Amino acid sequence: MIKGACHCNNIRWSFEGQIERVTSCNCTVCRRYGGLWAYGFKDQNIIVAGTTREYVRGDAALGFHFCGVCGCVAYWLGRFPNTDGHFRIAVNMRLALEPEHIQSIPIRHFDGLDKFEALADDSRCVKDLWF
């Protein structure tokens, strides 16, 4: 299990299971937040706790949740359930409490600004951004 928290520890999350890769997106929101997103479903493989503030962008499909105290962006949450009733969520791996446990996870670069598609793999992983 990987756990994360905002800087003041007001918001916490846990991710159960194997993370195959994290996503770095260049859309108008993600490039500003600089998140590294790991995906799952709320209350299934991802559990979140704490009081957040929410920013809802454009089409209102996603809400970005951040700490009202320290400002860290902790996760985004789908605002509508998918066809089986589950809510899609992605936690920001930059908030991982033990970064050494995620340093070898590959990064998928996603062009969310122009083409809305994954870019070619460049073999970079989390440690290439942090260390």
Tell me the per-residue pLDDT of 94-128, one tens digit each, with 9 for 90 and over: 999 998 999 999 999 988 888 888 888 888 999 98
Tell me the per-residue pLDDT of 45-64, one tens digit each, with 9 for 90 and over: 999 999 999 999 878 889 99
- Consecutive H or E run containing 128: helix 126-130
DSSP 28-59: TTHHHHT--EEEEEBTTTEEEES--EEEE-TT
Rg, Å, the chain Cα set:
14
- Consecutive H or E run containing 63: strand 62-66
Domains in the chain (CATH in brackets) are: 2-130 (2.170.150.70)
Q: How far apart are CA 59 and CA 55, in angstroms?
A: 12
**Residue 93 confidence (pLDDT) above 90:** yes
pTM above 0.85, yes or no: yes
The predicted structure's pLDDT at residue 131: 66
The predicted structure's pLDDT at residue 110: 87
